[in-house]
Amino acid sequence: MGCRALLLLPFLSLGAATTIRSRSETLSSLSLPTNPTPDPAVAYSYSVLYFEQKVDHFGFSDSRTFKQRYLKADKHWKRDGGSILFYTGNEGDIVWFCNNTGFMWDVAEDMKAMLIFAEHRYYGESLPFGEDTFKDSQHLNFLTSEQALADFAELIRHLKGTIPGAEGQPVIAIGGSYGGMLAAWFRMKYPHIVVGALAASAPIWQFEDLTPCGMFMKIVTEDFRKSGPHCSESIHGSWNAINRLSRTESGLNWLTETLHLCSPLTSGDIPNLKEWMAETWVNLAMVDYPYEANFLQPLPAWPIKVVCQYLENSNVSDTVLLQNIFQALNIYYNYSGQAKCLNISQTATSRLGSMGWSYQSCTEMVMPFCTNGVDDMFEPYLWDLEKFSNECFQQWGVKPQPHWITTLYGGKNISSHTNIIFSNGDLDPWSGGGVNKDISDTLVAVYIPQAAHHLDLRANTAFDPSAVLSSRLLEVKYMKTWIEDFYRNAKWQP
């Protein structure tokens, strides 16, 4: 079966963290524009540029280069007292991330900021070897977070060296999910290049044993449990219902038909069918946004509530239960009414680079996940590094290095760093592996009730819970402090 994408697709607060209860409680002096609709009516306007990067930043014998794509928007940028907001691109098409990071566009004017969105190598158009990029482990060898950070550093030096007025300005790294981890790590490794980082929904502790492996799916389950009566129980019961129905040929045919699947199920497909369903529930948990949106798929507002309307009766026959499950899946796959059939090989937007991420998960980004079927609504699944490692070797010819990320970036021992905001939403399953409590005065957590995966990086809308609006204002406040500190210190230089 290989490394199926289950739980490998990233995207990615409480108590002592900055839990924000009401908008009026904080920061009334700051304000951000509020868009009347979640999707900007006018497309964002930017220039598309390319920068020549070395394929290998960490050796001297390889002089090959490739073109990294980046986007630049400088409408609100001021040479005097301005700033540069730099999106550390993650595992997908940078235009898609740009479209879904309205926060940066909303704050640009207030921060007199130039916006840069840098594409991550091996994703979108930034393929080091064109068609051969994913051919084999030799070509994939330069796909690492370290190389990506070095690309960002080189790009910033280039921008500062070529744009008059940019040189003396502070740069802030901003990213979400894996991009949020990159933003945080960029500040840790290159503090002379960025004055601070906003790391949204960045599960930097989803490695080794820093977070219990069951946490992620527990949060997914909790989202469904809270969104409707018997909702998580229905899903919990569906796995055995599928097992029973799939024992016979006629049961398999019935499932194919009832779930409107594109191709007929065989008994060998059942594990894939169940993983596809599980991944669908996970994706819904990530994008449980308060308004109609199209991130992974077009979806209604609060999609889990909508899904759960079909799953209120858990004490029903196997066939009724699976018919209900179909209605629920159909919300995720067919909200637009365009789907001809449901394809168990597809779960999310093709804007994500699933090949690149599969390789990264098999090398550096080794995130242990498990379920027990008691604290969560899934079938029990043990984290088995050896099995995972063998699958990775089969697929990519490489073996995972589960210790490397913590060795490189410190795991929990990061208190010597400064100026990083870690924001997480309580609905987001990735929040379990995130930083949800302040580590120091300048490594701060912003925990956002009623928020899914990096909702704070999306555009301000009238539909956002007030806690999300005030979290964004708080993030702006921190960023302005870093910028002020930068300019204050700059004055002392000769």
Ligand X SMILES: *[C@@H]1O[C@H](CO)[C@@H](O)[C@H](O)[C@H]1NC(C)=O
Residues in contact with ligand X by CB under 6 A are 43, 93, 95-96, 99, 260, 262, 315, 330, 334, 337, 339, 341-343, 345-346, 351, 406, 410-413
How far is residue 376's CA from residue 180's CA, in Å, rounded to a whole number? Answer: 27
With respect to ligand X, which residue has the nearer C-beta, 42 or 374?
A: 42
Min dist. Cβ of residue 89 to ligand X (A): 12
How far is residue 163's CA from residue 15's CA, in Å, rounded to a whole number? Answer: 44
How far is residue 435's CA from residue 421's CA, in Å, rounded to a whole number? Answer: 9
Which of 464, 462, 428, 461 has its CA nearest to residue 447?
428
Catalytic one of 145, 177, 423, 470: 177
Catalytic one of 428, 431, 456, 470: 428
Min dist. Cβ of residue 345 to ligand X (A): 4
Min dist. Cβ of residue 322 to ligand X (A): 14
Which of 325, 347, 372, 331 has its CA nearest to residue 231?
325
How far is residue 426's CA from residue 465's CA, in Å, rounded to a whole number? Answer: 13
- For residue 136, indicate whether it is catalytic: no
With respect to ligand X, which residue has the nearer C-beta, 204 or 467?
A: 204
- Contacts within 8 Å (CB) and 24+ apart, 161-166: 163/114, 164/79, 165/79, 165/82, 166/84, 166/114
How far is residue 423's CA from residue 457's CA, in Å, rounded to a whole number? Answer: 10
With respect to ligand X, which residue has the nearer C-beta, 159 or 459?
A: 459
- For residue 24, indicate whether it is catalytic: no
Residue 122 DSSP class: T
Give the residues across from 81 on adjacent strands: none
- For residue 76, indicate whether it is catalytic: no
Min dist. Cβ of residue 195 to ligand X (A): 25
Min dist. Cβ of residue 250 to ligand X (A): 21
| Phi, psi for residue 456 in degrees, rounded to 5 | -65, -20
Catalytic one of 453, 454, 456, 471: 453
- Give alpha helix (H) positions in 208-343: 215-226, 231-245, 249-258, 270-286, 303-308, 318-334
With respect to ligand X, which residue has the nearer C-beta, 169 or 211?
A: 211
| Phi, psi for residue 117 in degrees, rounded to 5 | -115, 115
How far is residue 435's CA from residue 166's CA, in Å, rounded to a whole number? Answer: 32
| Phi, psi for residue 243 in degrees, rounded to 5 | -55, -45
Give the residues across from 293 on adjacent strands: 299
Contact 119, 125 (CB under 8 A): yes
Cα pseudo-dihedral 95, 163, 480, 150, rounded to 10? 60
With respect to ligand X, which residue has the nearer C-beta, 341 or 462?
A: 341
Give the residues across from 117 on adjacent strands: 71, 87
With respect to ligand X, which residue has the nearer C-beta, 334 or 481?
A: 334
With respect to ligand X, which residue has the nearer C-beta, 102 or 425?
A: 102
Min dist. Cβ of residue 35 to ligand X (A): 13
| Phi, psi for residue 88 in degrees, rounded to 5 | -85, 95
With respect to ligand X, which residue has the nearer C-beta, 218 or 351?
A: 351
Min dist. Cβ of residue 3 to ligand X (A): 15
3-state secondary structure of 24: helix
- What is the tally of helices (H) and strands (E) in the chain? 15, 11
Min dist. Cβ of residue 144 to ligand X (A): 18
Cα pseudo-dihedral 429, 433, 434, 438, rounded to 10? 130
Residues with catalytic roles:
177, 428, 453
